[in-house]
Amino acid sequence: MAKLDQRKLAPRGRKVKILATVGPASRDPEMLRKLLKAGVDAFRVNMSHGEHEGHAETIRAIRAMEKEFNHPVAIFCDLQGPKLRVGKFKDGKAVIRHSGHFTLDRNPEPGDDTRVELPHPELFGLLEKGQRLLINDGKIQLKVIRADADSILCSAVVGGVISDRKGVNVPDAEIPIPALTEKDRRDLAFAVQNGADWIGLSFVQRPEDLAEARKLMGSYGALCAKIEKPMAVRRLDEILELCDGVMVARGDLGVELLPEEVPPLQKKIVNKARMLGKPVIVATQMLESMIESPAPTRAEVSDVANAVYDGADAVMLSAETAAGEWPEEAVTIMDRIAAQVENDESYLSRVRFLETPPDATTADALSHACMTIADTVPIAAITVFTGSGSTARRVARERPSVPMLVLTPSVRTARRVALLWGAHAVTTKDIGSFEEMIAKGKRMALRQGIGKAGSKLIALAGVPFGTPGSTNLLHVVTLAGDELEKHER
C-alpha cells in the first residue's frame, strides 16, 4: 500500500457510513476530533435542541477540523418538525386512570387528572370515534369516544403518569399541518446560511411537504425525508421521487406502528431507496444502551449488523454521541461492527440480494459495468470524476466490491457524498483532457493510499468534461510505481 499523506484521513476500509449526533457530550472540538478519527463520516446537528449560536460554534468547529484533516465532512441539520404536544398541568404532572375518561381540549388552563390543553386546533373536529392518541412515546394510549370543535373525549386504554408538554402521536389520521413550522423556517434559513450539506425534514406525511423546504433551500444542500409517519409510508414512492435521500426514523415510526411492523418496513424503505440510487440512513436506538454503558447489548450489535447487511448507506448514532457517557466508544464499536460485517465472505451476496437493474442510459450501463469488471478483474478502486455527484450515486447503487474514489472540483459535492455508500471523496481541480484525467486519477489513488504499483483502477467520467449528466467514458488503467514520485518532483 502506498504511503498515505499524514495530513489526510485514510479511507475508512468500510463502505457503510456513520452519522453521529452532536450534543453536550460531543460538541467540544477535541471530542469532535476524536469522533472523526474513530470513524464518523458526517455529523448531525439536531435543531430540536439548543440555540443558533451554539449550533454555529459546532459547525465552525467541524469545518475547522475538516480543513485540518483535508477531509470533506457532511453536516446534517435535522429540523424539529411539527411535533404535537399536550399543554401543562397544575402540578407539572397528573395520573390518567386505566380505563378512565380523559379530555383533551382548547382550554389554556393547567390540566389535572381529567383534562389538559391540546394546543393544536387542527386536530379538533378531525378525529373520529375509535381513533388512537399515543402520548409520551406510546406509554399512554387513548381511544377517542367523541370529538368536536372544542374537545376530544377519550377512554384510557393504557393510563399512567402524564407530565407537561409530552408528545402526542396520531397514527390513524393524516394531520393537515405543514411539515415546516415557523421555528423550522428559521432553522432552515440558519442551516443554509451556515453551509449545511443535508437538511432532514421531520414528520413528512405527503409529497407536498417537500415542496416548501425545496423552495427555501434554493439550490443549496440536499433534502432528506425522514420517514416516521404511517401516512408517509403509504405514499413512500412519491416521497422518494422528490427527495435526495431518506432516513428510516424508527423512533416515532415505532410509536405509531406495532413494534413487529417496523423491521420489515425498514427493509422495504432501504430497498426502495437503493433502487432509486438515493442514500438511505437507518436511525434511532442502534446502540442505545451505550448512553450509559461502555458496551452494547448483543441485540444492538445485531441491529447495526442487520442494517449493514441490508446495504444501508449510513447508520446513525443519536443520544449515544449527543448526551451519552461513551461517545467515542460508541463510534468505535459501530465502526468495528460495520467492518466485521463487510469482511464476511457472504456480505457481498447478501447486499446484492436486491437486484438493481440499470436504467436504459449510458451512465447506468457504465456504472453497472464498473461492478462487473471489479468482480472479474483484480481492481483496487473505481475512480469517479463528477461535478454534481450523480455518477457516484449510480456507481454506489450497484454496490461494487471495491472502494469508490470520488474526485470532484466541488467542495459541496465532496461533502454531500460523505453519506454515500462506498464513497471516499477528494476535492481536486477540474480536468480538461483525457490524459489529465488518467494522470490525476492515478496520483490521487496513490496519495490516498489506494492501490500500489501494478494495481488496476477503473476510471469513470463524462466527455466533454465539466458537463453534468454526460457520463460516457470507462477506462481501466494500471498504476506505475513512479506515478506519485513524478508528481512530487
Residue 432 clears pLDDT 90, i.e. is over it: no
Task: Identify the band that residue 8 occupies on the pLDDT scale cut at 50, 70 and 90.
Answer: low
State the Cα–Cα distance between residues 489 and 485, nearest whole angstrom: 6
Residues with Cβ within 8 Å of 441's Cβ and at least 6 positions away in sequence, in order, are: 383, 385, 405, 407, 457, 459, 477
Domains of the chain, each with CATH number or no CATH = 17-81+178-345 (3.20.20.60), 84-169 (2.40.33.10), 362-488 (3.40.1380.20)
State the Cα–Cα distance between residues 261 and 253, nearest whole angstrom: 9
- CB burial of residue 391 (10 Å; 0-12, 13-18, 19+): buried
**pLDDT tens, position by position, 336-366:** 999 999 999 999 999 999 988 888 999 999 9
Task: Identify the band that residue 4 occupies on the pLDDT scale cut at 50, 70 and 90.
Answer: very low
Name the residues annotated as catalytic.
44, 85, 226, 284
**pLDDT tens, position by position, 224-264:** 999 999 999 999 999 999 999 999 999 889 998 989 999 99
Average pLDDT over the chain, rounded to whole? 93
Residue that the C-alpha cell 459535492 belongs to: 413
Residue 489 clears pLDDT 80, i.e. is over it: no
Quick one: average pLDDT of 209-223? Answer: 92
Residue 5 clears pLDDT 90, i.e. is over it: no
Q: Where is average pLDDT lowest: 73-87, 171-185, 325-339?
A: 171-185
First to last CA, the chain: 20
Residue 308 clears pLDDT 90, i.e. is over it: yes
- Cα 368 to its chain centre, rounded Å, is 25
The percent of residues above 90 in pLDDT, for the chain, comes to 83
Residue 453 clears pLDDT 50, i.e. is over it: yes
Quick one: average pLDDT of 112-134? Answer: 94
Residue 2 clears pLDDT 80, i.e. is over it: no
Give the amino acid at 377. V
C-alpha cell at 81: 418538525
